[in-house]
Amino acid sequence: MSSILTIEKGWALFLDRDGVINKRLPDEYVKQPDEFEFLPGVTEAIAILSAIFQPVIVVTNQQGLGKGLMTLEQLDKVHKKMTEGTTQKGGRIDQVFFSPDLNNSRSFSRKPSVGMGLSARKQFPTIRFRKCIMAGDSYSDILFGHRLGMKTVLIGTDNSVLKQCGDILNYRFDDLISFARAVEINR
C-alpha cells in the first residue's frame, strides 16, 4: 500500500474515536472525561488534518450508553474534552455522531451500517462520499467507509484486522499522526 495519500481540495474526513483518537480501555468503556486519554500525536494529527479536510467528523459506536453504563450527559462531557483538547492544539472536530445501540441490535445507525454517514451528509450537504476518507481501527470502521464509497484507512498495527479487511482497505498507517503526515493535496 502507498505511503502517500493524495487527494484534491474539498474532501471530508470521518474518524473513529476509541483506538484512533483516544486510548481504548480493554473490555471497558470511556465513561468519564478523566478516562479519556489522547493517543500520542493525535492532537497534532488532527491539527494537520483540519487544515486539509472540511469537515472533520467523528463517528463512534457507544454501546456503553445503550447498556446503561453511562449517561448521555457523561458522553457529552467526554466528547467536550475531546473537541476542546483538539481545538487547544489548533485542530477542529466539526461534529461527533454516535450510536448508543447494542452490537447485536443490527441498528442502521451503528457501524458498519451507514446511518451515521447519512446523518453527517444531511448536516453537511457538501459531503460527497467518493470524496471522503474513513479512518478507523476496526473492520466495522473500514466496512462502514467501504459501504458508503469512501477511501478507507486502517489505523493500527493489528494484523488480524488487516487480514479481515482484505481488498476493501485502501491504506494502512500505524497511528493517526503517520496518516496525517502522509496526506497531500494535489495542486
Q: Which residues are catalytic?
A: 16, 18
Taking a C-beta distance cutoff of 8 angstroms, is the pair 14, 57 a contact? yes
Taking a C-beta distance cutoff of 8 angstroms, is the pair 22, 37 a contact? yes
Q: What's the chain look like in SS3?
A: CCCCEEECCCCEEEECCECCCECCCCCCCCCCHHHCCECCCHHHHHHHHHCCCCCEEEEEECHHHHCCCCCHHHHHHHHHHHHHHHHHCCCCCCEEEEECCCHHHCCCCCCCCCHHHHHHHHHCCCCCHHHEEEEECCHHHHHHHHHCCCEEEEECCCHHHHHHHHHHCCEEECCHHHHHHHEEECC
